[in-house]
Amino acid sequence: MSLLPDLPGDGDFEQVQVLVDRASGMQAVLAVHDTRMGPAFGGIRRRAYGSVADATRDVLALASAMTWKCAMAGLPAGGGKLVLVDHPGLDREAAYRRIGEFVESLGGRFSTGPDVGTTDADLRAVCSRTRHCADPDSGGPGDLGRATALGVFHALQATARHAGLVLEGATVLVQGLGTVGGPLARMCRDAGARLLLADVDGQRAKCLAAELGAGLVDPDRVLETRCDVLAPCALGGLLDEAAARSLSARAVCGAANNLLASDRVGRILHERGIPVAPDFVANAGALIVGCLHQLHGTRVGDDRIVAIGQVVAGLLEESARTGVPPGEVALARARSRVAAVPHRLYLGGS
Ligand code: NAI
Q: DSSP letter string over 101-129? A: HHHHHTTTSEEB---TT--HHHHHHHHTT
Name beta bridge partners: 32: 15, 80
Decide the pairing of beta strands 40-41 and 26-34.
unpaired
The reported pLDDT for the residue numbered 156 is 98
What is residue 1's predicted lDDT score, i.e. its pLDDT? 52
Is residue 81 part of the annotated active site? The answer reads: yes
Contact status, residue 148 vs residue 170, Cβ threshold 8 Å: no
Q: Ligand 1 centre and the CA of 339: distance in Å?
A: 32
| Length reported for the chain | 350
Residue nearest to atom 43 of ligand 1 (CA): 283
pLDDT value of position 117: 93
Does ligand 1 have an atom closer than 6 angstroms to the CB of 290?
A: no
Q: So what's the pLDDT on residue 347? A: 86
Q: Please tell me whether the overall predicted TM-score, pTM, comes out greater than 0.85 for this model.
A: yes
Distance CA 196, CA 215 (A): 5
pLDDT value of residue 9: 62
pLDDT on residue 350: 56
Which residue ranges in the chain fall short of pLDDT 50?
none
Q: What is the pLDDT of residue 12?
A: 87
* Separation CA 81–CA 87 (nearest Å): 19
pLDDT score recorded for residue 6: 66
Assess whether the C-beta atom of 145 lies below 6 angstroms from ligand 1.
yes
